Chain A
Amino acid sequence: MIAALTELETGQALPEVTLEPVSRLDLIKYAGASGDYNPIHTIDEEAKKAGLPGIIAHGMWTMGNLAKLFTPFYKDGFIEDYSVRFKGMVFLNDVLTLKAELEEKRENKLYFRVSAVKQNGQEVVKGKVVFALYE
């Protein structure tokens, strides 16, 4: 467990988090909480009509989950920049692991490479976080 982000050295990673297998309820909850009711995320038939093998997670659900690696550190600073590319689809029962590695420290900014990786090693979300430290 890392007490403060300032302890982290370049090349080191935050503790990884592996999520529970993606469930339909996760996606229904996210649809309700976010207002994104695109049915390809919740209804099998609609996903199939769209040419998908089954419902897929909202990209923003994965992006939202990924940010939680940084939540314990809001006392020290905040996420100033958070950018991702959605590279692959996440299906029901996929197991995602969330990762963040410190690439660079400059003045009061910490530059992280972040990703969400599937059980088969495929990166589904890839991006960067700039964490700005206070004072």
Chain B
Amino acid sequence: MMTRMFAHLIGQKSKPVKNVVERGAVKKFAEAIGDPHPLFIDEETGKKSRYKGNIAPPTFPRVFDYGKIPGLELPKKGLIHGEQSYHYKRPLLVGEEIQCWAQVKDYYEKQTRSGRLSFLVINRYGADSDGEIVFEDEQVIIITEAVRKEMAK
């Protein structure tokens, strides 16, 4: 019963949510990763740059709201972030609006030395006001047997 518990969700996606690349959020984020570069936070530097404004660090999309994937209930605790990737068409600009959504891409299980692990692959997307996808992100979440058992209760 516990096997393939997320498999039926493959392909499910959330409804797009409007997000803004907020100046204050970018500054706070850049500082939190120890990278308060003027291109991220100083308006003058941004204006004079080829971007004509400030840009956001590549891992900034972590802060966006991607909406809820129907049927996907993940536990708050015990998940392991195994892998993460970003693909960009261009950097995100401070101040721009981005429509964000998420989709379950894959689910599989593997027998390992530390038990049977589940791998949930979620892709997230951000599109600009022209409808162009600016970034795509993929996360691989590892769910241990113990957490799966807890969830099945």
Cβ-neighbour of B88 out of A33, A34, A50, A78 (below 8 A): A78
Cβ-neighbour of A30 out of B33, B40, B49 (below 8 A): B33
Q: Please encode chain A, from 64 to 81, with 1 for each CB lying within 8 Å of some chain B CB and 0 for all others.
A: 110110011011001111
Known A32-B28, A50-B78, A60-B59: A68·B84 in contact at CB below 8 Å: no
User: Is A80 touching B88 in the complex (CB atoms < 8 A)?
Assistant: yes
Is B108 an interface position by the 8 A CB rule? no
Of A1-9, A82-90, A102-110, the stretch lying at the interface with chain B is: A82-90
Is B122 an interface position by the 8 A CB rule? no
User: Is B84 touching A60 in the complex (CB atoms < 8 A)?
Assistant: yes
Q: Which residues of A contact B25 (CB under 8 A)?
A: 33
User: Is B62 touching A72 in the complex (CB atoms < 8 A)?
Assistant: no
The chain B residue sitting closest to A71, CB to CB, is B37
Is A11 an interface position by the 8 A CB rule? no
User: Is A83 touching B86 in the complex (CB atoms < 8 A)?
Assistant: yes
Tell me which residues from 23 to 51 in chain A have a Cβ below 8 Å from any Cβ of chain B.
26, 29-30, 32-36, 38-40, 46, 50
Q: How far is the CA of A67 from the CA of B86 in the complex (A)?
A: 12
User: Is B59 touching A33 in the complex (CB atoms < 8 A)?
Assistant: no
Q: Which residues of A contact B86 (CB under 8 A)?
A: 79, 81-83
Is A63 an interface position by the 8 A CB rule? yes
Q: How far is the CA of A32 from the CA of B24 in the complex (A)?
A: 12
Of B1-9, B50-58, B96-104, B124-132, the stretch lying at the interface with chain A is: B50-58
Is B63 an interface position by the 8 A CB rule? yes
User: Is A81 touching B85 in the complex (CB atoms < 8 A)?
Assistant: yes
Q: Which residues of A contact B77 (CB under 8 A)?
A: 38-40, 46, 50
B42 CB, min distance to chain A CBs, angstroms: 13
Q: List 16 A-B contacts (CB under 8 A).
A: A26-B34, A34-B29, A36-B62, A50-B78, A60-B59, A63-B59, A64-B59, A71-B35, A78-B90, A80-B87, A82-B59, A84-B83, A84-B84, A86-B81, A86-B83, A134-B50
Residues of chain B touching chain A, judged by Cβ–Cβ distance below 8 Å, are: 25, 28-29, 31-35, 37, 39-40, 49-51, 55, 57-59, 62-63, 76-78, 80-88, 90-91, 138
